[in-house]
Chain A
Amino acid sequence: MCSYTPLELIYAGGFLPYRIIGHSEPPQNADSYIHSNFCQFVKSTIDVAINGGYNFLEGVVFVNSCDAMRRLHDVWKRYVPTKFMHILDIPMGTLSLGKHYLKEEFNKLRIALENYASITINDQDIVNAIELLNESRLLYNQLNSLRTENPPKITATELMNLTSNFFKTDPKNWNEKTKGLLDKINTYPNVQTRSNNPRVLLSGSPLHEINFISFIEDIGLNVVYEDLCTGSKFFDLIINDSKDILGSLSEAYLNRTPCARMMKLKERADQIYKNAKKFKVDGIIHHSLKFCDTYLYDVPALKALLTEKGLNVLFIESDGGLGNINQIRTRIEAFSEIIKN
């Protein structure tokens, strides 16, 4: 569910990681299980789960990432029969003690998986999984770097589709397909003519609706980086090989580009700035999911930090779906006019 879940351990245990990302339709039964003032991600997830939509999963790994996620875990545990359930406690803030703690937490997950499946996950299995997933990230980043060009050689919608497939496919197959795609783009760089539209970076709460991004692109903006845990940021992670493999793994995850729940706002702003420069953006759209405290609490301070750095930022809030999207259309259009000049 959360991008702090060490996929490497799951894969090393012989399981296929499948990312739950909810949906953007109005939830049917969620209100009877969780309060209506929860983010669309949590509401839609519990909705699908209650209706048996995730029954094909062997188990679920939760992360203690925000108050809403903690309760999602509890409600799921009570109402959705699931064979394997585990909750990871990821520390936030900057204390160095967190590294050791996270390693312990990862080790607990490893043991829990071992016990559940009566298997042994040895270090080599983990190293193999790290290699495979590092390759996925490398491939993604190669494709992603095609967006530094103007016009970008690949659209956000195309990349979001790729990301979304990654969340449900065996990384082995995904890597093969992505290699093919890379070759194709490298051989025929101008298969599609792209426009010189203003370039934006999209940041904020996780988004689960690819069409949301297409919507922004259709307004006439090129989205060139998604600072989202469901977008480019997800692949911004490389794990080093070492003797202490769980140590490397936990260190990499703990120090990955922080999302809002890590309480490192300055680092987050710096990272956004760095990517804004790298991808030569004209503006930033920051989207918060309604009821997502994690991101909403940051809005005023982030606005100040980014504006201070001379960036143009538009802050929007919605349920991430397409239902009421026209309400934000005018604001994005107006923003597009501003950054064009």
Chain B
Amino acid sequence: MLEKYFTQLEASLKAKLEAKATARRKFVYEIARIGTRIFDDNWSIGWTTVFVPYEILTSMGVSGMFVEFFGAMLAGTGMSSKYLELSESKGFSTDSCSYHRTIIGAALDGLLPEPDVLIGASIPCNGGVKALKRIGEIFNKEVFILNIPIDITPKSVDYLTEQFEQMIEYIENETGRKLDYNKLKNSIRYNNEAREYLVELNKLCMNVPSPANSNDLKNFIMIVLLLGTKESVEVAKLYRDEFKSRIEHDLKGATEEKYRLMWIQNRIQFKTDILSILEEKYGAKIVIDELNHIWWDSMDESDPLRSLAKRIITHPLVGPAERRLEVITQLARDYKIDGAINPAHWGCRQSAGARVLFKDALQKIGIPLIHLDVDCVDERNYAQGQIMTRLEAFLEMLSTY
């Protein structure tokens, strides 16, 4: 069923892309191709959490897919409720993260193709590793756990690099596929190329008004699945070109902009038009998603594993919240935002626990923040009317701020 879904999705996106090549279309198409790839016998399959280095997996012929992506995708197609109910009926708590509960339900229901490897990283959340463990049990497979050290020191980088080496061994043992070092080095080159464009396209969005519309970069974090490939370079370049051209052509194609907003963590994944309403009716636009920030430096092609280790260790979500707060504050300044929205996804301990700190950090630089308190994946209790009223009140407050 899933295979059919992805194949059809890929075909229809391809047709659209051929009719008119936009950056967004190309991005979604490439992600859909990764969806189809998990049914391709030429690849091994790896279920992972979000921040594992796909460059290594891809260079080994393993098609990596993060579980949170699946939770999001199933919510987007309106199918998450079914799987949430299923996992709940098996005893999974309704208080835990619904991204995870959805994928566990889907795995229990036999929707997921069997993984060859399972790799979980200790960031952004422990729940992700737990969810992967439960999926591993369904398929009777061990999970490889990456412990991401919380201090940024050369020793931490060594430690994670050694873990990568063991991870490669684990993948080799499970799949019989060897790592092709040249491929990995190439992937670092692609990474650096894509990174340049990504930094540039983000800079373009600092322009007032921004060339990007609220949904142009929605869920752009999924680009991590493509990093290290030529497709990632193509996607990033297309976005850069598109934004550049919008700016050069008096922002033709960009919506009107009265308020510039930052979105914290993930978007709401099920179908809702709140952001379009905000944009069209009130001129309130998401100009930056926190998770779209490019935090890492250009990488060293001759030392791929250490470079990748450094990239993960320096992620703003690793360790104490301070780094994340610094990034959020910096983004608020760079993108000259008027306000910030934090969905405060129910069940996300790592993020909800910092909600007061987010507000506090932004308040210090005079930026108001609103917590929506929604569940981004579980639409069963979603009350759009209430959320809309609160957002309208928030915008009204911004207008007098």
Residue A66 at the B interface, CB < 8 A? yes
Contacts A37-B347, A71-B353, A303-B91 given: A297-B130 contact, CB under 8 Å? Answer: yes
Bound CA span A34–B125, Å: 17
Number of interface residues of A (CB under 8 A): 49
Total interface residues on B, using CB and 8 Å?
A: 45
Q: Which residues of A contact B398 (CB under 8 A)?
A: none
CB distance B353 to A75 under 8 Å? yes
Using Cβ atoms and an 8 Å threshold, which residues of chain A touch B155? Answer: 104
A35 in the interface (beta carbon within 8 A): yes
Interface membership of A332, Cβ < 8 A: no
Task: Check: A89 CB closer than 8 A to any chain B CB.
Answer: yes
Given A74-B353, A95-B166, A101-B149: A296 and B96 within 8 A (CB)? Answer: yes
Residue B239 lies at the interface, judged by CB distance under 8 Å to chain A: no
A84 within 8 Å of B (CB atoms): no
- Contact A73 to B150, CB < 8 A, known contacts A38-B349, A97-B166, A263-B130: no
Contact B133 A263 (CB under 8 A): yes
Across the two chains, which residue of chain A brings its CB closest to B373? Answer: A35
> Contact at B354–A74, with CB atoms within 8 Å?
yes
Q: Is B360's beta carbon under 8 Å from chain A?
A: yes
| A92–B353 touching, CB < 8 Å | no
Contacts of B212 in A (CB 8 A): none
Asked whether B93 is an interface residue with its Cβ less than 8 Å from the other chain, the reply is yes
A98 CB-CB contact with B under 8 Å: yes
- In the complex, the answer to whether B130 meets A293 with C-beta atoms within 8 Å is yes
Determine whether the beta carbon of B162 is less than 8 Å from that of A97. Answer: yes
One of B159, B344, B352 near A97 (C-beta < 8 A): B159
Which of A64, A293, A301 has the most chain B CB within a 10 Å cutoff? Answer: A293
Enumerate chain A residues within 8 angstroms of B344, measured Cβ to Cβ: 35
Q: Quick check: is A233 within 8 A (CB to CB) of the other chain?
A: no
CB of A78 closer than 8 Å to a CB of B? yes
Partner of A67, one of B100, B162, B350: B350
A296:B346 contact, CB within 8 angstroms: no
Please tell me if the beta carbons of A74 and B322 are within 8 angstroms of each other in the complex.
yes
A97 touches B163 (CB 8 A): yes
B346 and A294 contacting across the interface, CB-CB below 8 Å:
no
Q: What are the residues of chain A within 8 A of B100 when measuring CB–CB?
A: 297
Closest to A97 in B: B162
Q: Which of A73, A91, A95 contacts B320 (CB 8 A)?
A: A73
CB of B129 closer than 8 Å to a CB of A: yes
Closest chain A residue, CB of each to CB of B170: A95
Q: Chain A's nearest CB lies how many Å from the CB of B360?
A: 7
Least CB distance from A84 to B in Å reads 15
Q: How far is the CB of B144 from chain A (nearest CB, A)?
A: 8
The CA-CA distance from A37 to B353 in the complex, in Å, is: 9
- Map CB proximity to B onto A84-103 as digits: 1 under 8 Å, 0 otherwise: 00010101111101101100
Q: What is the bound-complex CA distance between A35 and B352, given in angstroms?
A: 6
Q: List 28 A-B contacts (CB under 8 A).
A: A33-B356, A34-B353, A34-B356, A35-B349, A37-B95, A37-B347, A37-B349, A42-B353, A64-B150, A64-B319, A67-B349, A71-B350, A71-B352, A75-B356, A87-B150, A91-B147, A92-B129, A92-B145, A93-B145, A97-B162, A104-B155, A108-B151, A296-B92, A297-B127, A298-B130, A299-B92, A300-B92, A315-B91
| Residues in chain A within 8 A of chain B (CB atoms) | 32-35, 37-38, 42, 64, 66-68, 70-75, 77-78, 87, 89, 91-95, 97-98, 100-101, 104, 108, 261, 263, 265, 288, 290-291, 293-294, 296-301, 303, 315, 317
Can you add 9 more A-B contacts, CB < 8 Å, to A72-B353, A89-B150?
A37-B352, A67-B349, A73-B320, A74-B353, A98-B147, A104-B155, A293-B130, A300-B90, A315-B91
Binding site for A on B (CB under 8 A): 90-93, 95-97, 100, 122, 125-127, 129-131, 133-134, 137, 143, 145, 147, 149-151, 155, 159, 162-163, 166, 319-322, 344, 346-347, 349-350, 352-357, 360
In the A-B complex, list the 8 residue pairs whose CB atoms are closest, starting with the nearest.
A71-B353, A93-B145, A297-B130, A67-B349, A35-B352, A74-B321, A67-B350, A300-B91
